[in-house]
Amino acid sequence: MSVPDVRSWIDRFAELVHAERDRLTELDAAVGDADHGSNLDRGMKAAAAAAGELGDAAPGELLKKVGMTLVSTVGGASGPLYGTLFLRMGASLGEATDVDGPAFAAALRAGLVGVAARGKAEVGDKTLLDALTPAVDELDAVLAEGASLSEALGRASTAADAGRDATEPLVARKGRASYLGERSAGHQDPGATSVALLVAAAAQTL
């Protein structure tokens, strides 16, 4: 994949977040502070614009720019988490101009590791990791079978959706939702929901 592909991915994610903005905010209202949709929508609009202005930079540079823009515009916990995801992906890709499937998967894995460290969370804590981790695992597994990146991302997206749905019965152990204790069960996690959109956008564009 090259820069135009990465740019389409970012644009598509921004579109999906915008379309699901109210739904994300509604999910956040149940367990958090009702701003996930509006904050991420604002941030992704800015990030897509910044990516558009970058000209013919390498994919890694573009992802770093997206990460920096999200950190500066989203706020709350989502800003540092999504920012770290893209910054680490960018660092992993370095200056490579053409990125193949394994390089993309390695970058996404680096992003995942960065997010887990930033949030000090693990799978099962009812966070975006619950959707991102199975997606990255599935991506690696399907690529290892020799499938194309496009096919692997399709299956990763299915895994992300399943991970997102599985957050509903969980009791939150991180973030503002954790203050609700048992009362956080029965609500789908907003972060896992938005990260499933990120993987879906990748499956649709890369």
Q: Residue 60, interface with another protein (CB under 8 A)? A: no
Closest to another protein by CB, 101 or 119: 119
- Of 40, 56, 55, 51, the closest CA to residue 11 belongs to 51
Q: Residue 59, interface with another protein (CB under 8 A)? A: no
Candidates 5, 76, 141, 147: give the one binding another protein (CB under 8 A): 76
- Of 1, 115, 30, the closest CA to residue 67 belongs to 115
Closest to another protein by CB, 45 or 76: 76
Smallest distance from another protein to CB 138, Å: 27
- Of 157, 192, 199, the closest CA to residue 24 belongs to 192
Closest to another protein by CB, 112 or 172: 172
Q: What are the residue ranges of helices labelled H in 120-182?
A: 129-144, 149-165
Q: How far apart are CA 99 and CA 142, in angstroms?
A: 17
Cα–Cα distances in angstroms (integers) from residue 180 to residues 133, 150, 174, 176, 195, in the given order: 24, 39, 11, 8, 22
Candidates 174, 188, 197, 203: give the one binding another protein (CB under 8 A): 174
* Site track 106-135 with another protein (rule: CB under 8 A), x = hit: ------------xx----------------
Q: Residue 176, interface with another protein (CB under 8 A)? A: yes
Choose the stretch contacting another protein; rule: CB under 8 A; options: 45-53, 75-83, 162-170, 193-201.
75-83
Q: How far apart are CA 27 and CA 189, in angstroms?
A: 7
Q: How far apart are CA 129 and CA 112, in angstroms?
A: 8
Q: Residue 45, interface with another protein (CB under 8 A)? A: no
Closest to another protein by CB, 34 or 147: 34
Choose the stretch contacting another protein; rule: CB under 8 A; options: 3-11, 14-22, 55-63, 173-181.
173-181
Choose the stretch contacting another protein; rule: CB under 8 A; options: 45-53, 136-144, 171-179, 193-201.
171-179
- Only one residue has tokens 């109210």, namely 22
Longest Cα–Cα distance of the chain, Å, equals 49
Tell me how many helices (H) and strands (E) the chain has: 9, 0
User: Which spans of this chain sit near another protein (rule: CB under 8 A)?
Assistant: 33-35, 39, 71-77, 79-81, 83-84, 118-119, 172-176, 178-181, 183
